[in-house]
């Protein structure tokens, strides 16, 4: 059994910050661009100013990862500051509405959704489903 290849991949992924630091020290070009995505409270560590992704809601260049505040969702997605304000840090109008419900109401909604949504990959399906619904325009 050969494990070498896998070990190498693992070490490179874990060492992007260290790699960047060393490359800078030695005056080498840093090949990693954008943000090193990390699953902690920093939600990404900026390495260069290149913005390589866009807001999932309006399409503006943006690379700020957000965790949907709706307890029944917690979708990790990219949201720009203006959409964060518009959707109150939620991934969709549905989640915005749902996050204002009582815990009991949220639970019964979630139960119904999980039964009806089994064919989808959980996070992808949820995103596609919610993003397809236009935001209600308030005038």
If one asks whether residue 96 binds Zn ion (CB under 5 A), the answer comes out as no
If one asks whether residue 80 binds Zn ion (CB under 5 A), the answer comes out as yes
β 65-67/76-78 pair status: antiparallel
Cβ–Cβ contacts within 10 Å for residue 130, how many? 19
Binds Zn ion (CB under 5 A): choice among 57, 63, 66, 127:
57
Quick one: 32 or 60, whose CB is closer to Zn ion? 60
Q: How far is the CB of 121 from Zn ion (least distance, A)?
A: 15
Q: Of 75, 97, 102, give the one whose Cα is nearest residue 87.
A: 97
Cβ–Cβ contacts within 10 Å for residue 134, how many? 7
d(CA 59, CA 49): 18
Binds Zn ion (CB under 5 A): choice among 47, 68, 78, 96:
68
If one asks whether residue 95 binds Zn ion (CB under 5 A), the answer comes out as yes
Residues that bind Zn ion (CB under 5 A): 55, 57-58, 68, 70, 73, 75, 80, 83, 91, 95
């Amino acid at each position: 059994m050969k494990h070498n290849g896998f070990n190498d991949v693992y070490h490179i992924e874990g060492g992007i910050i260290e790699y960047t630091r060393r490359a800078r020290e030695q005056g080498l070009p840093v090949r990693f661009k954008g943000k090193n995505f990390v699953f902690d409270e920093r939600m990404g560590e900026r390495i260069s100013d290149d913005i390589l992704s866009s807001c999932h809601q309006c399409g503006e260049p943006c690379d700020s990862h957000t965790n949907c505040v709706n307890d029944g969702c917690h979708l990790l997605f990219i949201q720009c500051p203006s959409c964060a304000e518009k959707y109150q840090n939620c991934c969709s109008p549905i989640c915005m509405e749902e996050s204002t419900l009582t815990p009991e109401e949220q639970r019964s909604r979630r139960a119904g959704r999980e039964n009806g949504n089994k064919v989808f990959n959980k996070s992808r399906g949820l995103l596609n489903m919610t993003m397809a619904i236009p935001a209600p325009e308030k005038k």
